[in-house]
């Protein structure tokens, strides 16, 4: 049984953004490890922690509806993958004018090893009917929700529900998991106990926690969490739903606002993207242009951030360090946040100040 004390302890190492619903960033040093320790993995929840009856029902437009207990899910062939999850609102605090929404700094991003059943296996067993177009995922959490003005008709008591296209969800190559273990232990309550979706490459809003039901739909789903929120409302072009993580690099060492000794210093960091592996990271030491190539490590897996480093001859004074990543689809980070009304997907190049003494 999980007590309030257990939940409190699980939250001790995080940097709180909102006590209720509980939202918290990873501490900056969490990014020093390739796999984020579970207690340092950021948490984002739209509602209070729900209770869950321990079963997953699979139905809708399928030939063979069924339900699974956690034990039955564990008995299916398992897949284990390290997956970097990033909140689409990560970096919102650095966008101007400041949008509404949780004021995330830059640490709503973490990487964990997830183990679970393949969503494609579960869907194949249910046998979707030919007219199926989307799959809807319903979480056990619900509550009152501050609606965007664009969809007043959706009401104000909502559950957390998202969908994927059936072709995306049912393709085994996409390795979407119904995960029950995180870093070798059963999922913690804040991360979706007893099971959750993990959708590699996508902003983590797609990875529905406390998963309760999976339904094949014959019409596209347009719930609040994919038509009201989690939409890029650009000032100058048509709105787009939030989907893949945007290319981004982060300096992890020296840590933010550090003072270091003059001499040779290895700058280290991580870089990630949902639109292709990272192909280059460049570093600027002057706050202006002058981009120099960093050493980029090969990916250790298809869905996790990559490590990079740069050897710096640090001279006394204050320096502004910047790192910029490019991915295999040739996406490169912009200099300024790509402003949109709800402040999603800020992947602007970050400036890191360091004092060298
Ligand atoms: N049921 C449910 N699933 C959810 C959410 C939620 O509020 N309810 N938040 C989503 C968002 S916006 C993010 S960023 C991730 C966060 O996952 P984590 O808390 O394990 O880091 O969960 C996603 N899954
Ligand atoms: Mo998120």
How many Å separate Cα 326 from the centre of its chain? 19
Please give the pLDDT value at position 157.
84
Looking from the CA of residue 41, the nearest atom of ligand 1 is 21
CA distance 97 to 340: 10
Q: Which residue has the tokens 């600027």?
A: 284
Please give the pLDDT value at position 148.
52
50-98 pLDDT, tens per residue?
999 999 999 999 999 999 999 999 999 999 999 999 999 999 999 999 9
CA of residue 207 to ligand 1 center, whole Å = 6
Looking from the CA of residue 210, the nearest atom of ligand 1 is 1
The 8-class DSSP code of residue 227 comes to H
CA distance 138 to 121: 18
Bridge-based pairing state of the strands 292-293 and 278-284:
antiparallel
- Domain boundaries in the chain? 4-241, 248-356
Please give the pLDDT value at position 287.
75
Assigned CATH topology for domain 248-356: Immunoglobulin-like (2.60.40)
Partners of residue 197 on adjacent β-strands: 178
Asked if the model's pLDDT at residue 270 lies above 80, the reply is: yes
97-135 pLDDT, tens per residue?
999 899 999 999 999 999 999 999 999 999 999 999 999
Please give the pLDDT value at position 150.
46
The 8-class DSSP code of residue 243 comes to -
Assigned CATH topology for domain 4-241: Sulfite Oxidase; Chain A, domain 2 (3.90.420)
Pocket of ligand 1 (CB under 6 A): 41-46, 85, 87, 139, 141, 160, 190-191, 204-205, 207-210
Asked if the model's pLDDT at residue 256 lies above 90, the reply is: no
Rounded to 5 degrees, φ, ψ at 206 are: -75, -20
The residue whose CA is least distant from atom 23 of ligand 1 is 205
The CB-side HSE value for 210 (13 A sphere, CA atoms) comes to: 19
Q: Which ligand is nearest to the CA of 162?
A: 1
Tell me if residue 159 falls in helix, strand or coil: strand
Asked if the model's pLDDT at residue 289 lies above 80, the reply is: no
Indicate the average pLDDT of the chain.
95
Q: Compute the residue count for the chain.
A: 357
Tell me if residue 81 falls in helix, strand or coil: strand
Choosing from 13, 42, 45 the residue with most ligand 1 atoms within 8 A of its CB, the one to mutate for a pocket test is: 45
């Amino acid at each position: 049984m999980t007590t309030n004390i257990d939940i409190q302890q699980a939250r001790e190492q995080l940097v709180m953004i909102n006590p209720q619903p509980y939202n918290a960033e990873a501490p900056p040093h969490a990014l020093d490890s390739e796999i984020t320790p579970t207690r340092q993995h950021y948490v984002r929840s739209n509602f209070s922690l729900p209770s869950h009856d321990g079963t997953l029902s699979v139905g809708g437009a399928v030939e063979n509806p069924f339900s699974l207990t956690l034990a039955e899910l564990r008995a299916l062939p398992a897949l284990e993958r390290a997956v970097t999850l990033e909140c689409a609102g990560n970096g919102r605090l650095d966008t101007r004018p400041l949008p509404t929404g949780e004021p995330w700094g830059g640490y709503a991003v973490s990487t964990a090893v997830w183990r679970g059943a393949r969503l494609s296996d579960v869907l194949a067993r249910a046998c979707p009917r030919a007219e199926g177009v989307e799959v809807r995922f319903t979480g056990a959490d619900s509550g009152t929700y501050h609606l965007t003005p664009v969809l007043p008709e959706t009401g104000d008591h909502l559950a957390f529900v998202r969908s994927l296209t059936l072709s995306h969800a049912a393709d085994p190559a996409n390795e979407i998991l119904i995960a029950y273990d995180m870093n070798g232990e059963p999922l913690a309550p804040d991360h979706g106990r007893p099971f959750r979706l993990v959708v590699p490459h996508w902003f983590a809003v797609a990875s529905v926690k406390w998963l309760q039901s999976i339904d094949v739909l014959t019409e596209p789903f347009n719930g609040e969490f994919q038509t009201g929120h989690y939409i890029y409302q650009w000032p100058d072009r048509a709105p787009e739903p939030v989907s893949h993580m945007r290319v981004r690099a982060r300096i992890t060492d020296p840590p933010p606002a550090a003072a270091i000794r003059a001499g040779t210093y290895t700058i280290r960091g991580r870089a990630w993207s949902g639109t292709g592996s990272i192909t280059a990271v460049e570093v600027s030491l002057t706050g202006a242009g002058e981009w120099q190539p960093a050493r980029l490590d090969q990916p250790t897996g298809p869905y996790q951030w990559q490590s990079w480093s740069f050897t710096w001859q640090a001279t006394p004074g204050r320096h502004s360090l910047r790192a910029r990543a490019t991915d295999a689809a040739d996406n490169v980070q912009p200099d300024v946040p790509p402003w949109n009304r709800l402040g999603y997907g800020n992947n602007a190049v970050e400036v890191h100040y360091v004092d060298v003494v």
